[in-house]
């Protein structure tokens, strides 16, 4: 399975690297039918710096084949990304071409700008819930959800919820036993219930 991780200036590091740790670590520990090939992409390519200053050397998304999984992290300052026409256009094309589209935190807010979440259930960062509810969108935003699945779209609540969601994704694809075993290997206390949201709005 190919994974395209779409980055932009100011992305939240754990939003991206948490799910990458899970997906990237599975292949070496379990005999799975799919191997994960990670690609780090951006609109223009080159070094992209996260909110905490961690930079990743990315490929230009237009020069990379569509992936089975598109992963979009969130950011603490989503306003710039929400109005970035080049990013939104590239995101829409990549999301439509992917088998699964996974967003963490405010990544769902950015994705909502493409119109692809219209009529779908989704969630986002509860710390920024006023921003989410203030959007003029047709998304059915879920105020009480650790993560939400609607078709091929997986959206999670704030930063750490991405870990719970990606393990839920693993359980959906490979079974609960694999997800539980990997959570134990990385010594992570997994919230397995997407409706168990202690930060609900």
Q: What is the pLDDT of residue 162?
A: 98
pLDDT at 24 over 90: no
Q: What is the pLDDT of residue 30?
A: 74
φ and ψ at residue 118, rounded to 5 degrees = -60, 130
Mean pLDDT (whole number) for 4-11 = 98
What is the pLDDT of the chain when averaged over all its residues? 94
User: pLDDT tens for residues 99-131?
Assistant: 999 999 999 999 999 999 999 999 999 999 999
Q: What is the pLDDT of residue 177?
A: 93
User: pLDDT tens for residues 134-185?
Assistant: 887 899 999 999 999 999 999 999 999 999 999 999 999 999 999 999 999 9
Contact partners, residue 147, CB within 8 Å, separation at least 6? 123, 154, 155, 156, 157, 161, 164, 165, 168, 194
Q: What is the pLDDT of residue 78?
A: 93
Q: What is the pLDDT of residue 82?
A: 94
- Distance between CA atoms of 70 and 174, rounded to whole angstroms? 18
User: pLDDT tens for residues 35-84?
Assistant: 788 999 999 999 999 999 999 999 999 999 999 999 999 999 999 999 99
Count of alpha carbons within 13 angstroms of residue 191, beta-carbon side: 18
Q: What is the pLDDT of residue 104?
A: 98
């Amino acid at each position: 399975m190919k994974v395209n991780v779409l980055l932009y200036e100011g992305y939240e590091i754990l939003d991206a690297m948490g799910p990458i740790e899970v997906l990237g670590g599975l292949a070496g520990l379990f005999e799975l039918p799919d191997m994960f090939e990670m690609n780090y992409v951006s609109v223009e390519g080159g070094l992209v710096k996260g909110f905490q200053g961690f930079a990743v050397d990315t490929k230009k998304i237009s020069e990379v084949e569509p992936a089975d999984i598109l992963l979009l992290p969130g950011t603490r300052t989503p306003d710039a990304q929400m109005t970035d026409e080049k990013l939104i256009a590239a995101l829409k094309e990549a999301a439509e071409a992917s088998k699964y589209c996974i967003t963490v935190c405010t990544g769902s807010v950015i994705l909502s700008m493409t119109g692809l979440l219209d009529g779908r259930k989704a969630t986002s960062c509860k710390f920024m819930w006023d921003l989410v509810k203030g959007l003029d969108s047709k998304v059915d935003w879920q105020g009480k959800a650790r993560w939400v699945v609607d078709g091929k779209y997986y959206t999670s609540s704030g930063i750490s919820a991405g870990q719970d969601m990606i393990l839920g994704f693993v359980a959906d694809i490979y079974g609960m036993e694999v997800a539980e075993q990997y959570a134990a290997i990385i010594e992570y206390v997994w919230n397995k219930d997407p409706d168990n949201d202690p930060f609900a709005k």
